[in-house]
Amino acid sequence: MTAAADRGWQVTTFNRDLASWSHPQAQRIIGDRLRPTDLAALAGGRWDAVVDTWSGAPRAVRDSARVLAGRTDRYLYVSSRSVYVFPPPPGLNETCPTVPASPDADATEYPQDKRGGEIAVQAQFGDRAVLARAGLILGLHEDVGRLPWWLLRIHRGGQVLAPGPPELPLQYIDARDLAAWLLDAATSTVTGPVNVLSRPGHTTMRQLLQAVVAVTGADAELVWVDPNTITAAGIQPWTELPLWIPPGHHSAGLHSTNVDRAYATGLRCRPVEQTVADTWAWLATTNAQVMPASPSQPPHGLDPAKEQAVLAAWLHSTQRDQ
């Protein structure tokens, strides 16, 4: 919304108005998209493009797309790499198989919900549909608690379990870069599925954590721990240690996704230092001790006692080996 307003575009938002957030320049339509009668409020309008961030029942996307089909040139659906059959292979690209799903379904599992939404949009918009398969969205307003967890953990200081190897390539997308790509796509001829995230190795685990240390000004020491030691301790990659997937893990494709289509259609990704600094500044405005979290997401992060136990064992074993 903000990015579109910054371009001088006229924007209409449609939601239930529960979050007490609105943009002063938006024309607001209030309604619940799960109630088809509420969608009638859209029937009098005309738009160049729609951006849909829905992640529930596919039938909600189906009903919106039907109402908007004759009123909108292009429909951009914020989808996810979760639509691909699990596990994601290294080099995951847009031709990889997707999960079976129905556009008429109620909410079931996340991959089926997202894929059902994609099918619903393509049924109405054909080659005027854009399926932005985002992955690991970071930046301001992140409500999953991945980068916020690392910021708050390192801000606490002391010896920090840093999951190795330090040069582990990472791949993600800053929400503002995703927004810019979506707005460009709204006025271009790009069509169909596009994996929208940074190139593999846009940053590394070391670059990311060092950026966090620098921006928080913390008295923290990163202790790099061998990945096998971490997994042997029963620590879950991705959730307990957000963003981290060890080499050779069945989900390693999440950090080696092919993004050639996104870059060929204009994607630009800002440096990790900027994403980290701006997210820290935003957290400071939200009372930094409170982890922003969505009720639909399991909590992310590592229990401090578990972290200290692994660190103590690791430091003991490395000192013994010297």
Among candidates 86, 49, 58, 64, which has minimal Cα distance to 15?
A: 64
Which one, 129 or 310, has the nearer CB to ligand NAP?
Answer: 129
* Secondary structure (3-state) at 45: coil
Q: Does 162 bind ligand NAP (CB under 6 A)?
A: no
Q: Does 19 bind ligand NAP (CB under 6 A)?
A: yes
CB of 32 to ligand NAP, least distance (A): 4
d(CA 145, CA 299): 7
Q: Does 22 bind ligand NAP (CB under 6 A)?
A: no
CB of 303 to ligand NAP, least distance (A): 22
Choose, by CB under 6 A, the member of 49, 76, 78, 283 that binds ligand NAP: 78
Which one, 19 or 305, has the nearer CB to ligand NAP?
Answer: 19
Q: Does 55 bind ligand NAP (CB under 6 A)?
A: yes
Q: Does 53 bind ligand NAP (CB under 6 A)?
A: yes
CB of 313 to ligand NAP, least distance (A): 32
Q: Does 136 bind ligand NAP (CB under 6 A)?
A: yes
Q: Would you list the DSSP string of 119-186?
A: HHHHHHHGGGEEEEEE-SEESTT--S-SHHHHHHHHHH-EEEEEES-TT-EE--EEHHHHHHHHHHHH
Q: Would you list the DSSP string of 202-254?
A: SEEHHHHHHHHHHHHT--EEEEEE-HHHHHHTTPPEETTEET---TT-TTGGG
* Secondary structure (3-state) at 22: coil
Which one, 16 or 316, has the nearer CB to ligand NAP?
Answer: 16
d(CA 306, CA 56): 34
Q: Does 298 bind ligand NAP (CB under 6 A)?
A: no
Chain residues binding ligand NAP by CB under 6 A are: 15-19, 32-34, 53-55, 78, 80, 114, 134-137, 144
